[in-house]
Structure 1
Amino acid sequence: MVGDNVTSSSRGFGVASVSEFFEKYGLGFVMVASYFGSGSVFIASSAGVQFGYALIWAVGGAVLLGFMAQDMSARLGIFGEPLMVFVRRKLGRGPATGIAVLLSVGCVAWCLELTAAVGKGIEVLIGGAVGWQPLALVTGAAAIVVGIVGYDWIEKLMTGMMIGLLVAYVLVAGISAPDIGGIVAGAVPSIPGPGALTLAAAILGTTALWPNFFLESILVRQKGWVDASAIPTMRRDLTVGYIVGGITTIAIIVATAAVLRPAGVTQLDTFITPGLVLAEILGEWALVLFLVGALAAAFNSIVPIMWTPAYMIPQAMGMDVSADDKRFKLVYVALVAIGSLSPVVHAVFGLSVVDMIILFPAYNGVVGLPITAALLFWAVNDRDTMGEHRNGRWLNAANVLLVVLSVYLAVSSAEGVFSAILGGGF
């Protein structure tokens, strides 16, 4: 059995087998799988074709900030309480429920774009034999089944898929014959041209995913992390997860910079475009590998993102729920079912799949990220909640940066995002 095999990597973590690895670790991979969806693939590909290797530094910065935000969320769960429980205790049931419902709208919006992205990708892979609309509905049904089978199984699935994504995109990047000097230079912060800062902020926005701030504070106890002795394990877990996510993102930038940009591609029409161009240059295998990776990434994101409102809404109403609770499953199934209706959104609002992939994460950047970043900052600095484990100077600096950046992005882009959503896209 796989779980009985001793591996060198697992020994490095102080465990003797894969099964023992998952007894200690794995939550970090769930968090990374949550943020690494079709939007991340599109944004990283756009960075590569528009600015070559020059925004690799932004991935490193985003990974570091995302790690620090998740560390704060985990410590809140270990030493205090889940973030939404904190919000309810401080604000009361009514305001907490209102915040939970508002944020849950964003999760449903994410689900809409992710089911549409998976459906569109499968349509391309099968040569258009079936349209993306019914495939989006099937994707939602599959996410419902996967999401209620239990945390332990999901954790193993997400870890395996993230490792698979890493291997796939690193393989494509390696065969693309990239410029090593350019990669090294791209690790040095620079703003290579107009729009580069916006893309750097988008990389941050997809890496520091606000549902994870709630989810990690809930799931730490699922791992048995309940006191200070768990902090080193929690941080090793996050470190490995975010390194895998960061390298995968960099591999996409490298592949598109090495192949698409020299081929004259400077703008992407869809998240599928990189695969199509790679196929022309490297062969059909590159398209299949790129698209399968993008589809896996999109599907990966659905389950943990939609777990978040399934926990948040009952917690805001004063209910203590677990993944096995009927109330949790009811909320999860109902909201994923609504999030599967991307074909209806397409028909009613005239939004294309690409419109949804760009606009719905942008909506979350405008609404969900500033609210959640501010709540997390409040919680990890609350003396009654955290006691002596409150934030230190450097973590507060990171949290303040996250709050300020998220508010700036919200204020500067809100009008354009809402106008595009209500006006039928770009």
Structure 2
Amino acid sequence: MKEFFANFFDKYGLSFIMVASYFGSGSIFIASQAGVEYGYVLIWAVIGAVLLGFMAQDMSARLGIYGDTLMTFIRKKLGKNGALALALFLSLGCIAWTLALTAAVGMSFEVLTGGAVSWQPLAVVTGIVAIIVGVLHYGYVEKVMTGMMFLLLVLYLVVAGANGPDMVEVAKGFIPAIPDTGAMLLGAAILGTTALWPNFFLESILVKRKGWNSDKHVKSMRTDLTMGYTVGGLITVAIIIVSAAVLRPAGYTELSTFVAPGEALEIVLGRWAMIVFLIGVIAAAFNSIVPIMWTIPYMILEALDIDHKEGSSKSFKLIFAGGILIGMFSPLVAKVTGLSVVEMITLFPAFNGVFGLPISAALLFWAMNDKKLMGANTNSWKLNAVNFILVLFSAYIAINSVQGVLGAIFGGMLS
């Protein structure tokens, strides 16, 4: 068995880091809301989002295998100053995410302990633990991320199976249907949480860790992505099934807070369901912090053409730790801005959807069609269509959301 796991992580495991980074507390809330409002109807949207996420990661991985990393491409096109400016701007989004995630972990522990310990100090402790995990040897981090993803899968499959969902209705959910505008928006939200822009940078960098650098490695890369995104998709589908089978019949029509699904499960199924839900939120939120914050030092050092020694250099670790030190002060940000934990959890990812996703999707599109970089391995017209849809989607979300998102984040500071 030990040899099996050793061989597994020699060949695979990268995709679980990618999936862990996108599957945070926001994903749990959005999937729960989809099940409460529309039952099993939006299961197909999860499948579509997983396929689009898979293809975006496939493009990023092929960029790293055949060409170069995404930030190195940007540096060669825009120069060091332009690349650094872009890296620093995108880093703000990673820090915002971490503020939301440390707050989510802290609040989950507060609820789990019945309010015995407030979320603020727990958010700071979460940041410290994330720094420790993030500076460990990459192989250990990969194992931790993979283990926690399977923990999430087991947790939600147990809760889903305990409720005997109508499998005929579940099967109907795989058939595309959009009953109203609200369903369309939730479907877009599911896609937005699955196509995570830091992964475009990370995958193109981390393929080197696996030794993937030629045609013969593409199959292993795609097998890895298939495993990771299958697990991520199953977890999301299980959350929708739980919400549709338990909360919707109990009369719930909306969820007001990110722990509301757990509170509702507790009323219907008992305290054990709430504990399972909170453990899942903690695992999902913490899982997201490390890979998202790895993106900052990778981007900055590659923008400056400084060797990060595959994440083991002193500079890499210092930038990584510094970013999380800022990100773990979510209690201070909450006090200054007047934002609640729930508002941080929803608004800060939205900030990334407005700025980080459209910029990164456009840059990936540019890189994958650069013949000088990719040669004969540039995007096919089918992959260009997928990437173009991602660019259009992210641009649409940004144009329609930018004013509301910035107003909601900074309104309390200005009032």
| 1:414 paired to 2:413 | no
The equivalent residue for 2:317 is: 329
1:84 to 71, 82, 102: 71
Displacement of 1:267: 1.1
Deviations 1:277-307 (A, max 9, x none): 1112112111111110111000000000000
User: What CA distance in whole angstroms lies between the structure 2 residues aligned with 1:308 and 1:191?
Assistant: 35
AA in 2 matched with 1:3: K
Q: Say which SS state the counterpart of residue 338 (structure 1) adopts.
A: helix
User: What CA distance in whole angstroms lies between the structure 1 residues aligned with 2:93 and 2:217?
Assistant: 32
Q: Say which SS state the counterpart of residue 195 (structure 1) adopts.
A: helix
User: What CA distance in whole angstroms lies between the structure 1 residues aligned with 2:51 and 2:406?
Assistant: 30
User: What CA distance in whole angstroms lies between the structure 2 residues aligned with 1:310 and 1:256?
Assistant: 38
| 1:307 paired to 2:294 | yes
User: What CA distance in whole angstroms lies between the structure 1 residues aligned with 2:58 and 2:181?
Assistant: 33
Displacement of 1:320: 2.0
The equivalent residue for 2:328 is: 340
User: What CA distance in whole angstroms lies between the structure 2 residues aligned with 1:194 and 1:238?
Assistant: 32
Q: Say which SS state the counterpart of residue 230 (structure 2) adopts.
A: helix
| 1:253 paired to 2:252 | no
Tell me the C-alpha RMSD between the 2 structures: 1.0
User: What CA distance in whole angstroms lies between the structure 2 residues aligned with 1:131 and 1:377?
Assistant: 44
Q: Say which SS state the counterpart of residue 311 (structure 2) adopts.
A: coil
The equivalent residue for 1:363 is: 351
Aligned residue runs from structure 1 range 5-404, under 5 A:
17-321=4-308, 322-404=310-392
Q: Which moved more, 1:193-202 or 1:352-361?
A: 193-202
Displacement of 1:393: 1.3
User: What CA distance in whole angstroms lies between the structure 1 residues aligned with 2:412 and 2:159?
Assistant: 35
User: What CA distance in whole angstroms lies between the structure 2 residues aligned with 1:19 and 1:237?
Assistant: 15
**TM-score, length-scaled by structure 2:** 0.98
The equivalent residue for 1:7 is: none
Displacement of 1:273: 1.0
AA in 1 matched with 2:157: V
User: What CA distance in whole angstroms lies between the structure 2 residues aligned with 1:250 and 1:424?
Assistant: 36
User: What CA distance in whole angstroms lies between the structure 2 residues aligned with 1:320 and 1:409?
Assistant: 35
User: What CA distance in whole angstroms lies between the structure 2 residues aligned with 1:227 and 1:424?
Assistant: 52
The equivalent residue for 2:411 is: 423
Could you tell me which runs of 5 or more consecutive residues in structure 1 were left unpaired when the two chains were aligned. 5-16
User: What CA distance in whole angstroms lies between the structure 1 residues aligned with 2:140 and 2:213?
Assistant: 22
Could you tell me which runs of 5 or more consecutive residues in structure 2 were left unpaired when the two chains were aligned. none
AA in 2 matched with 1:285: W
User: What CA distance in whole angstroms lies between the structure 2 residues aligned with 1:134 and 1:160?
Assistant: 26
Displacement of 1:207: 0.4
Q: Which moved more, 1:193-202 or 1:56-65?
A: 193-202
- Provide the identity percentage: 60
The equivalent residue for 1:8 is: none
AA in 2 matched with 1:202: A
Displacement of 1:194: 3.2
User: What CA distance in whole angstroms lies between the structure 2 residues aligned with 1:59 and 1:385?
Assistant: 33
User: What CA distance in whole angstroms lies between the structure 2 residues aligned with 1:105 and 1:308?
Assistant: 11
User: What CA distance in whole angstroms lies between the structure 2 residues aligned with 1:378 and 1:123?
Assistant: 45
Q: Which moved more, 1:269-278 or 1:20-29?
A: 269-278
Displacement of 1:424: 3.5
AA in 1 matched with 2:323: L
**TM-score, length-scaled by structure 1:** 0.95
Deviations 1:227-249 (A, max 9, x none): 11000000000001000000100
Deviations 1:154-193 (A, max 9, x none): 0001111101111110111111221212211111111122
Displacement of 1:270: 1.4
Displacement of 1:150: 1.6
Deviations 1:118-169 (A, max 9, x none): 0000000011001000000000000000000121000001111101111110
What is the aligned length?
A: 412
Displacement of 1:423: 1.7
